[in-house]
Each structure stands twice: as C-alpha cells, then as structure tokens.
Chains A and B, each alone.
Chain A
Amino acid sequence: MNSDRKWLVFLLVAGVLFSLIPFISEASDDFTFELDEIEKSPLEWGGYVEIKLEHLDINQDGNQANLNYPKGVPATIDRFRPSLQVDGSYTAGIACFNWLFKLAGQQDNTGWTDSGDIYEVYSRVKIFENSMVDLGKKAFGWGKGYAWNPVGFVNRSKDPNDPQESLEGYVTGELELIKSFSESNSPGNMALTTLLIPVSDAINDEFGEGNGVNLAGKLYLLYQNTDIDFLFFIGGSRSSRFGVDFSRNITSNFEIHGEAAYITSKDRVLLLENGSTRHEENSVWSGLFGLRYLTANDLTSIIEYYHNGNGYTEEERVLFYRQITEGGVVVDEQTLRQLRELSLYGYSRPYAGRNYLYAKFTQKEPFDILYFTPGLTTIVNLDDQSASFTPELTYAGFTNFEIRLRFSLLTGSSLSEYGEKQIGNRIELRLRWFF
C-alpha cells in the first residue's frame, strides 16, 4: 500500500468513527435506571479496536540504526498500526473460562506484517470462597512498581511508556488461598499464590532453558495498612530468585512503594575489548523505590528510581557501541551479525543499563475540560544522563472512545543509551473504540 492510499484508509476509518460521535451523547435532563441495564449474562465479552499512526525520525547518526539498517539508514519511518483486542469470560457454576486475544497489523516503509496472539486463555475453578485454581495461559503483574518490577519473576516485561497495556501470559497452574481477619478498626488479610510453570519445546519455551517444571510463589499481607509481598522463584529454567515489595499511604494523597529482588547466578554476556565475548554468572540485587503524590489541584506525580543489578555499566555499553563502527565506517556484515545477536541478548534490550529514573506527571481535567488529561513521562538513564521525554494529551469525553496524541523525544550525547537509540523522535496518534 503506498503512502497516499494508507492515509486515505486512515482518514476513511477515522471519518466513520467520528461520524458516530453525535449519536454517542444526547442532551436530556431525564435520568432513568432500568433493571435490564444490569442483567448479568454467563457470557461476558468486550475489547477494543485501535488505530495507531506513527511518524518516526530515525537517528541516522546512532549506532543502533547502523546495527539494524546495514544497507542504509532511512531518515523517517511512517507506520499505520491497526489492532483488535477481544477479551471475555463464560461462567458456569463454580467454573469460569477466560480469554484474551490480540490481532495486530503494521504497514510501514518495509511493507505489511501482522500477528495474532492468544494472550490469555485459562479456566478458573472456585473451590471455596477463599480459594481457587487457575489452569491455562495467564498473565501476571507481580510487584508494586509502575514502570518496572524487579520482583516480577513471572511477568512479561512491560513498556514503561505504556505500563497499563495487556501482556501475553505463560501457561501455568495456579492455586490461590485468601484469609481475611478483622480486628477492630484494623483490617488485615493475607493471600498465598503458588504457581507451577512448565517449560518445554512446546510450552513456555521463551520463559527459560531446558525442560521441567518451575515453582513460584507470593505471600501477600496487609499489615498495619501496608501491602507487603514476599516472592520467590525456583526451578531449572531460570536461576532462583527471592524478593519483597511494599506499598503504603503516608497520607491520603501521598503513597510510597518499593521492591527488592535477589537473583542468584544471573547470566550475562559481556563483549570484551578484543571483540570476543565472555559469559558471566553473578548473584545480583535489583531494586525500585517510588512515590505517588496528588496535589490539591489534581496533579498526579509518579516518580521511581530503578536499580538493575544485572544491567550493563556505562563503560560496557560504550565498548559495545564502539565495535559497530571503525573509523566512522560500519564494520563488516559478519561482525555486525554477531553484534546484532549480542544486541538482542542484552545490550539493546530496553533498560539494560544500571540506574534509571522514571517520572510521570498527569494533570486531571485542566481548565475544566472534562475527561481531558495532559501528561509528561520522562525516563532518565542516571549513569549517562541520556533521557526520553514524552508529553501527551488524552481525551476520553466520547463514550467508549479514547484519543491520545503523543510526542517522544530521545536525547543524549554520543555513546549514551538514548543518544544511540534508533529513534530520534516520534509522534503518535492513537484512536481507540471500546465495545
């Protein structure tokens, strides 16, 4: 599809969506509440249709672009990304069947690609009111951090710029037990979650190495108005790891949270000065501390510091970038291929450095514009002071529609993490219709 046709398709779809708006809200002072509006059905389903348009300015001086585009770095990339997410459940007695599917397509300079993924599909059986078993593919969100979760031993990595998006799960067997105990004016409860995670060539092969069954667990306590989790993972697919997290309100508008994880024998591949590689295994600590603060005029600030104990130091990353070019010229294809493998393994993974700061500020409904939320997200690599800045505008005033406009600017010196990223800046328009 050429560029003109692509825009024509987008404008056509957007036009249809916006033409529905006048029918969405109607002015009337008559308030009614009919009981058929709250009828429950054993089959519940919903989801959203999304159209995302992106324009990316490529950082042509960045080593990451040289690595990914050996035959010439494009100046810009335009993307058209439609997607469909459908979730639902069917309940019969004590059993409930749940699913979450996602279809996504992408049209850009290189052509059209698409994918269909089963994010979740699992059965839940309620044994008693305080215990249940889940069997199947399910996503987990362990940890208290917004942007990162060092204790997310069974989580997929999330995008700190979009931490509330659905993520694909793993095939697991889960048993959950909940116990609540109420003393006078001191509510408290605890919950024990245990997971079996099988790994083989056919199941969860991307989770870790070898064949076998792994065990993970989480003990949650609400103690003295503080959420506390103790977490562990043991098994042959990944090294053993143990963690703790907490979350607590200091005042009604001020919350603090944190995570600490100890990971034994964490594997890391290191590129050496002479171009060879070395495998390292170290036991490392990772941690996160964050706060959330709401001002009287509805400005919410979320600030987090993240230490990645297994991350690459600034010197190690600089050494990697320096191997991509030699005297200003990109190295040969064979060397590039090896570096690309290293890049995928660790060096170019998101947040592969040691120390990061995340800050997100959102202002609710400024100037009395209902459902309008401007915001700013910034992520700083504290070791090399490179950063990304993402201002955004979100409007959700039309029932079941959400419009979001974002601009991302990546900035940093040569050989810094964000200074070497493939993208220099990006503008994104996202339109969602929920059903």
Chain B
Amino acid sequence: MIKIPVFLFFFLLFPTWVLALDGNRILAQVDKNMQPDSYEMYRKLVNVEPDGSKKEFILYSVKKGPSTAVALFLQPASEKGRTTLRLGDNMWLYIPNVGKPIRITSMQSVVGGVFNNSDILRLDYSVEYSAQGVLNQGDSYLLDLKANSASVAYDRLKMTVDKATLLPTRIECYAVSGMLIKNLQYSKIKDFGDGLVRPSMLATESPLHKGYKSVMLFAKIKKKQVPDEVFTLNYLSRIDELR
C-alpha cells in the first residue's frame, strides 16, 4: 500500500482558487509593473469603425499616486484643450470655450467610441478592485476582481496576468448585472526606459458595439513629480504647461 502524506493529500484536493490575499498581492505588483507611482505619458486613441475608417485622438496625461490623474487632449483640433481631471471618485471635464470645469461620470465617453472616461483616467487597479480569487492557468493567473465601490465603472473584472512578467494580457469587464461590457487586450511589450517594461498597446472591443474597435497606444511614459496643485479645477486650463 502506498502511503500518501497527509499534507500531500490535502494539497491534491486543494482547489485551484487560492486565497484572495495572494490575488491582491499580484494585483499590486501588476500596478507597479504597469506604471511608476507618479508619471507623465502620451497616448493615441484610435476608434475603428466596422468599415475600417478611423478617428484618432492624442492625449497627454499626468498621474500622481494611486487615485489622482489628469488628461489633456492635444489632437484632433476639434477636441484640443479639453481636459479631464480625476480625484478619486470625482471627475471633471474642462472645455476651453466654456471656461469652467463641469462634473462628469466615469461611464461617459468624452470622445465617443468604446473607451469611456474611466479607461482614459484609469486609477490603479488595486485602488478600485479587490481580488476575490486567483485561478492558476499554467503560464498565467486569472484574477477575479470585484469593485470596491458602486462608483467604479465596471463591477467585476476577470484579469489574465502573465506569470513571467506579472503584466496583464487580457481583461474582461462586467456590469453589476453580470453582462460582459467589453474586452481589453494588452500587447506589444516595450521598454519605456528607467526599468519600465510594459505593453504599449491596449485594444478594446465590446459586445455592445459589434464591429467597432478602439486601440490605445502608449508613448513616453516617464516618471514625473508634480505638485498636488496641478490636480485642481483652477489648474485645468494650464495643464499644457507641464509638457
């Protein structure tokens, strides 16, 4: 008779879902690998329609800490100067002609298309979500993430994380109802310098907008220290000065 040690017996029966705590550690590491604590970056957002025609937007963003970010539209001319600010759950939009910021919501889209405000002004994943579990899938983890509050754009995420790099490769975003809202796909790993190696492209498709696709390209992600005053309503007309 072959004796199986008790601990090995339990290990074999142990479910593949491990403690959520490990999931939160992985998620925190994902955040760390995706961006410095405080940084600036440029993004090109491309909306692709079913007929293949494209509309492009270029944004300059500055982020400080886990829950503070601002994004300025540089192109096209019709959007130039529009600035969005996020402080935790608060979001504002500044339109140059209007001359004052107005409050907006995370699910709205400033530019139209599949990306919404929360995609453009994304906070650290570990700020908005907590891991409910981790599924070990060989060369990747599948994190089951639940929103920490009702104000988060997506109630649940299923995030696939590459084990070797601890970078996200695919994210499924779900509504409270359980309906799949969109799929996000990270690709094209690039060395941005200063030890930051991460995806330079994020593509998204939504079952709600069949045939439409949006792509976000990342460039010049660099550490940058800015004063807290930059993330205030009165500074929104001056964000371009930071470039």
Q: Mark A170-196, 1 if CB is under 8 A from B, else 0.
A: 000000101111100101010101000
CB pair A255–B105 under 8 Å, yes or no, is yes
**Cβ B103 vs Cβ A249 within 8 A:** yes
Inter-chain contacts of B224 with A (CB < 8 A): none
CA gap between A281 and B75 in the complex, in Å: 50
- B240 to A: closest C-beta gap in Å: 7
B229 touches A251 (CB 8 A): no
Contacts of B65 in A (CB 8 A): 182
A210 at the interface (CB under 8 A from B): no
Closest residue on chain B to residue A22 by CB atoms: B53
Q: Is the Cβ of A227 less than 8 Å from the Cβ of B49?
A: no
- By the criterion CB–CB under 8 Å, are B52 and A28 in contact? yes
Question: Given the complex, which residues of B lie within 8 Å of A141, measured CB to CB?
Answer: 98-100
Would B227 and A189 count as touching, CB distance under 8 A?
A: no
B231 at the interface (CB under 8 A from A): yes
Say yes or no: A166 contacts B97, CB within 8 Å: yes
In the complex, the answer to whether B210 meets A253 with C-beta atoms within 8 Å is: no
Report chain A residues within 8 Å CB of B68: 187
Known contacts A130-B227, A225-B88: does B74 contact A38 (CB below 8 Å)? Answer: yes
- Report A357 CB to chain B, min CB distance, Å: 20
Cβ contacts A144-177/B at 8 Å (1 or 0 each) = 1010000000000000000111110000000010
Query: Of A33, A46, A189, A365, which contacts B77 at CB under 8 A?
Result: A46
Distance between Cα atoms of A225 and B90 in the complex (Å): 7
Beta-carbon contact of B220 and A400 below 8 Å: no
Encoded as 1 (CB less than 8 Å from any B CB) or 0, chain A from 27 to 38 comes to: 111011101011
Given known A253-B105, A370-B212, contact A27–B53 (CB-CB < 8 A): yes
Say yes or no: is B51 at the interface (Cβ < 8 Å to chain A): yes
Chain B 73-93, CB-CB to A under 8 Å as 1, else 0, gives: 011111010000001111000
Smallest CB–CB gap between A283 and chain B, Å?
27
Q: A334 on the interface (CB 8 Å rule)?
A: no
Which residues from chain B contact A144 at a C-beta distance below 8 Å?
102
Q: How far is the CB of B50 from the nearest CB of chain A, in Å?
A: 9
Q: Is there contact, CB below 8 Å, between B217 and A33?
A: yes
Does A343 lie at the interface of the complex (its beta carbon under 8 Å from any beta carbon of B)?
A: no
Q: Which residues of B contact A300 (CB under 8 A)?
A: 108
Determine whether A110 belongs to the interface, using a CB cutoff of 8 Å to chain B: no
Say yes or no: B89 contacts A252, CB within 8 Å: yes
Minimum C-beta distance from B197 to chain A (A): 17
Q: Is B107 an interface residue (CB 8 A)?
A: yes
A187 to B241, CA, bound (A): 23
With A33-B44, A368-B209: A181-B228 Cβ-Cβ less than 8 Å: yes
Number of interface residues of A (CB under 8 A): 76
Residues of the A chain whose Cβ atoms lie less than 8 Å from the Cβ of B243: 40
Q: Which listed residue, B99, B106, B152, touches A140 by the CB 8 Å rule?
A: B99
CA distance A38 to B75 in the complex (A): 9
Residue of B nearest to A248 (CB): B103
- Nearest A residue to B49 by beta-carbon distance? A370
Chain B CB within 8 A of A108 CB: no
Instruction: Assess whether B25 is interfacial by the CB under 8 Å rule.
Output: no
Give chain B residues whose Cβ lies under 8 Å from the Cβ of A255.
103, 105
A434 at the interface (CB under 8 A from B): yes
Q: Is the CB of B107 within 8 A of A253?
A: yes
Contact A400 B78 (CB under 8 A): yes
Kindly state whether residue A91 has any CB partner on chain B within 8 Å.
yes
Q: Is B150 an interface residue (CB 8 A)?
A: yes
Q: In the docked arrangement, what's the CA distance between A143 and B55, Å?
A: 34
How far is the CB of B121 from the nearest CB of chain A, in Å?
A: 13
Interface string of B4-19 (1 = CB under 8 A from A): 0000000000000000
Q: Which residues of B contact A44 (CB under 8 A)?
A: 240
Q: Is B95 close to A, CB under 8 A?
A: yes
- Given the interface contacts A27-B53, A38-B74, A46-B77, does A179 sit within 8 Å of B99 by beta carbon? no
Tell me if B232 is interfacial: C-beta within 8 Å of chain A.
yes
Smallest CB gap from B43: residue in A:
A33
Q: Are B58 and A187 in contact (CB under 8 A)?
A: no
Given A35-B219, A141-B99, A252-B105, A370:B232 Cβ within 8 A:
no
Query: Are B234 and A294 in contact, CB atoms less than 8 angstroms apart?
Result: no
Q: How far is the CA of A385 from the CA of B87 in the complex (A)?
A: 41
Q: B203: nearest residue on chain A (CB-CB)?
A: A31
Q: Does A2 contact B (CB under 8 A)?
A: no
Which A residue's beta carbon lies closest to that of B68?
A: A187
- CB distance B229 to A178 under 8 Å? yes
CA distance A365 to B114 in the complex (A): 11
Question: Judging by beta carbons under 8 Å apart, are A370 and B113 in contact?
Answer: yes
Residues of A contacting B218 with CB < 8 Å?
A: 33
Q: Which residue in B78, B88, B153 is a CB contact (below 8 Å) of A434?
A: B78
Docked pose: A29 CA to B215 CA in angstroms: 10
| Residues of the A chain whose Cβ atoms lie less than 8 Å from the Cβ of B232 | 178, 180, 189, 191, 222
Residues of B within 8 A of A38 (CB): 42, 58, 60, 74, 219-220
A25 touching B53 in the complex, CB below 8 Å, given contacts A38-B219, A141-B100, A249-B105: yes
Could you tell me if A25 and B55 are in contact, using CB atoms closer than 8 angstroms?
yes
Residues of B within 8 A of A292 (CB): 103
Instruction: Specify which of B46, B97, B219 is in contact with A164 (CB 8 Å cutoff).
Output: B97
> What is the distance, in angstroms, from A11's C-beta to the closest C-beta of chain B?
24
Q: For the complex, is A402 an interface residue (Cβ under 8 Å from B)?
A: yes
**Further contacts, 4 of them, CB under 8 A, given A222-B232, A252-B152, A364-B108:** A164-B98, A187-B87, A189-B231, A400-B76
**9 closest Cβ pairs, A-B complex:** A27-B52, A180-B228, A141-B99, A141-B100, A25-B53, A252-B151, A434-B78, A434-B77, A33-B217
A-B contact pairs, 16 of them (CB 8 A): A25-B53, A25-B54, A27-B54, A38-B219, A38-B220, A126-B238, A129-B230, A132-B238, A178-B232, A178-B235, A180-B228, A227-B103, A249-B105, A252-B105, A370-B113, A434-B78
